[in-house]
Amino acid sequence: MYPLIFSVPPLLNQIMLELHLNNAQAGLVYSSPLIAFVAFVNVGGFISDKMGPVRVAGIGTSIMGVGSLLRGTSTDFSTLLMFSLLTGVGFGLAVPNLPKLTAAIFSQKLIGVATGVYTACLTIAEGIAVALTLPIAISLFNSWRNAVYFWSAMELFATMLWWLILGSSRFIVRKDQLIQKPQFQVNSGKVNPFWKNRGIWFLGIMFSIDNLLYYALIGWLPTMFFERGMSELIAALVTSSMIFFSIPALFLAPFFSDKIGLRKPFLWLSFLIMAVSCLSFLIVPLNLSWISSAIFGISSSIPFVLGFVLPIELVESENIGKASGIVLSIAYLGAILGPWFTGYIKDITTEFTYAVVIISVISIIAACFALAMPETGWKRRNRTI
């Protein structure tokens, strides 16, 4: 799934030149799958609770692969935008099934680690896409279209394996296989409707800000580095270091959070580090920019992985799909706004400085939300349930 989204940033310069796009349009093309994602992620979560996560995930990835394949045939901004939106529809249907599958398969003590494993796999795929897309495009007749076709074919092949291996009835997760556990309530022992749980909304806001920063930088850092004098290929590789250095954190953050029994300290501290590392992109020498990229990647990955863990702890098992849908629909509003906002500020100011400063301040605001977030770690639950 992720290479279809993250193969676009290294190709933006080629796409902009061929289709005559401005910076705001290019940012919208990159974020347009996420617009459709936000629109359909709640649908995916609701259908998952009814049909089962294996079937719905397979349908979503099928749509995503077809939409991406058509994206390579685009002739102008409008057709590229339309096919990118179709890609996002499949993305929205597929992703909410991941927490539900995790809750159904693993014990509560292993949920954090299991989530770390699959988010790490997603991140590895993302990093490979950012690092290798431009070399693939160059090797395939220097065409961004051929790179899009390559990743689309890989996605469709993986989807075919999904249906062949997991599509049989014995792999379909039934409702009675889901983990039944009491809902964590901060203020009382009453079980409130999941949509009244303030933790769900706080988590969505934090996840949204995390995505705003991450998608803004992963989308525009190659261009930012290129404008400062770095080659396109090196700029893509330095940007990909953000992704690859984050992989250990995807395992270690939920592991240590599970061991300590707390979630909140990992959240607010990560957002403060993100703010500092984001500002450092403006001042560090180019030959040291990979360090800033790595620090930002590590810190941004922690709210990301915990964003998939916490819905499992905040609601009853039969509501995990719907709660995940709500969280993700809010979360990816930030992913939509980040690239577009950065491109828009660049268009009106002719530089990235103002956008970087603004999103750094927003990261500090996210740290405040993290401090106000209800604690869901086992150490808190043992005292309140």
pLDDT tens for each residue of 253-302: 888 888 888 888 999 999 999 999 999 999 999 899 999 999 999 999 99
Distance CA 294, CA 131 (A): 14
pLDDT per residue as tens digits for the range 93-102: 888 787 777 7
- 259-269: buried (b, 16+ CB within 10 Å) or exposed (e) per residue? eeebbbebbbe
DSSP H helical segments within 228-263, as ranges?
232-260
Tell me the CA distances in angstroms from 321 to 176, 317, 327, 357, one per residue in order.
Answer: 15, 8, 10, 36
Percent over 70 (pLDDT), the chain: 88
pLDDT per residue as tens digits for the range 206-249: 999 999 999 899 888 988 898 888 888 888 888 888 888 888 88
Q: Where are the domains positioned within the chain? A: 2-168+181-384
Select from 374, 122, 157 the least CA-distant residue to 267.
Answer: 374
CB neighbours of 45 closer than 8 A, spacing ≥ 6?
96, 321, 322, 323, 324, 325, 326, 328
String of DSSP letters for 325-349: HHHHHHHHHHHHHHHHHHHHHHHHH
Higher pLDDT, 380 or 85: 85
Model confidence at 319: pLDDT above 80: no
Q: Are residues 148 and 68 in contact, defined by beta-carbon separation less than 8 angstroms?
A: yes
Q: Which amino acid is at 314?
A: L
Distance CA 254, CA 251 (A): 6
Q: Are residues 58 and 86 in contact, defined by beta-carbon separation less than 8 angstroms?
A: no
Distance CA 6, CA 215 (A): 9
For tokens 């749980």, what's the residue? Answer: 197
Return the number of other C-beta atoms located less than 10 Å from residue 339's C-beta: 29
Q: Are residues 55 and 100 in contact, defined by beta-carbon separation less than 8 angstroms?
A: no
So what's the pLDDT on residue 354?
A: 94
CB neighbours of 236 closer than 8 A, spacing ≥ 6?
9, 10, 130, 131, 133, 134, 222
Distance CA 373, CA 199 (A): 6
Tell me the CA distances in angstroms from 380 to 207, 220, 254, 377, one per residue in order.
Answer: 22, 40, 16, 6
So what's the pLDDT on residue 8?
A: 85
So what's the pLDDT on residue 2?
A: 81
So what's the pLDDT on residue 305?
A: 86
Long-range contacts of 341-344 (CB under 8 A, 24+ apart): 341/27, 341/212, 341/216, 342/27, 342/216, 342/219, 342/220, 343/22, 343/23, 343/24, 343/25, 343/26, 343/27, 343/28, 343/220, 344/23, 344/24, 344/27
- Is 0.95 surpassed by the pTM of this model? no
Model confidence at 167: pLDDT above 70: no
- Lowest mean per-residue pLDDT among 85-89, 113-117, 150-154, 219-223: 113-117
CATH of domain 2-168+181-384: 1.20.1250.20
pLDDT per residue as tens digits for the range 47-84: 877 787 888 888 999 999 999 999 999 999 999 999 99
Distance CA 185, CA 270 (A): 25
Return the number of other C-beta atoms located less than 10 Å from residue 197's C-beta: 22
